[in-house]
């Protein structure tokens, strides 16, 4: 008996989606992009990461997912740039997440086992070309939760001086 796929079959909720050119005719088109309506949202931080802008400038991007209301599951992104004028504001805003050094900005965020809940004040902006996009006017941390996994240290980390399990 071949057991090579038993784990995959037992743990998959649905078969993998068909892809490629053969599936193109059968699939429905995704809905048009629509920004969130202006308002106040409660969200959780999904990911923070150092990045660069299209022009090549240093920046930090924070992606959040709405967790309450009719727009639950929608994501919204806030990007801070590190130009001379913007840098003090970026440092102020990111400090609320414990991101106070360049080393912290390069580390995975949020740390494993930690969840940040935020309050977002979202506005709608229109570009010169007429496209609409969201602009997060204010972001406040309203809660930080550590799960038990945050206290777990791998045996190899103990040898390096990590906490005892």
Distance CA 43, CA 14 (A): 28
62 within 8 A of 48, measured Cβ to Cβ: yes
How high is the pLDDT of residue 79? 96
How high is the pLDDT of residue 111? 93
SS3 state of residue 134: strand
The rounded percent of the chain whose pLDDT value lies above 90 is 67
When mean pLDDT is compared over 3-17, 18-32, 68-82, the highest value belongs to: 68-82
Q: Which is more confidently placed, 128 or 17?
A: 128
In terms of phi and psi (left: phi > 0; alpha: psi -120 to 50; beta: otherwise), the region of 3 is: alpha
Pair of tokens at residue 161? 């001086």
Question: In sequence order, what are the residues at sequence separation of 6 or more whose Cβ sits closer than 8 angstroms to the Cβ of residue 111?
Answer: 150
CB atoms near residue 114 (< 10 Å): 16
pLDDT at 149 over 80: no
pLDDT at 2 over 80: no
User: How many alpha carbons lie under 13 Å from residue 49 in its C-beta half-sphere?
Assistant: 8
Distance CA 144, CA 72 (A): 19
∠ CA 100-91-98 to the nearest 5 degrees? 30
pTM of the model: 0.72
**66-125, pLDDT tens digit by residue?**
999 999 999 999 999 999 999 999 999 999 999 999 999 999 999 999 999 999 999 999
């Amino acid at each position: 008996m071949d057991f090579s796929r038993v784990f995959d079959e037992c743990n998959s909720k649905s078969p993998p989606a068909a892809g490629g050119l053969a599936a193109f005719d059968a699939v429905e088109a995704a809905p048009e992009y629509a920004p969130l309506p202006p308002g106040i949202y409660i969200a959780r931080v999904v990911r923070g990461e150092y990045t660069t802008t299209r022009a090549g400038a240093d920046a930090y991007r924070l992606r959040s997912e709405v967790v309450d209301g009719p727009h639950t599951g929608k994501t919204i992104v806030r990007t801070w740039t590190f130009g001379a004028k913007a840098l003090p504001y970026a440092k102020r805003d990111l400090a609320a997440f414990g991101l106070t050094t360049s080393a912290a900005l390069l580390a995975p965020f949020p740390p494993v086992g930690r969840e940040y809940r935020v309050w977002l004040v979202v506005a709608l902006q229109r570009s010169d070309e007429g496209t609409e996009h969201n602009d997060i006017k204010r972001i406040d941390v309203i809660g930080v939760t550590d799960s038990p996994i945050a206290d777990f240290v791998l045996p190899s980390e103990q040898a390096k001086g990590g906490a005892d399990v």
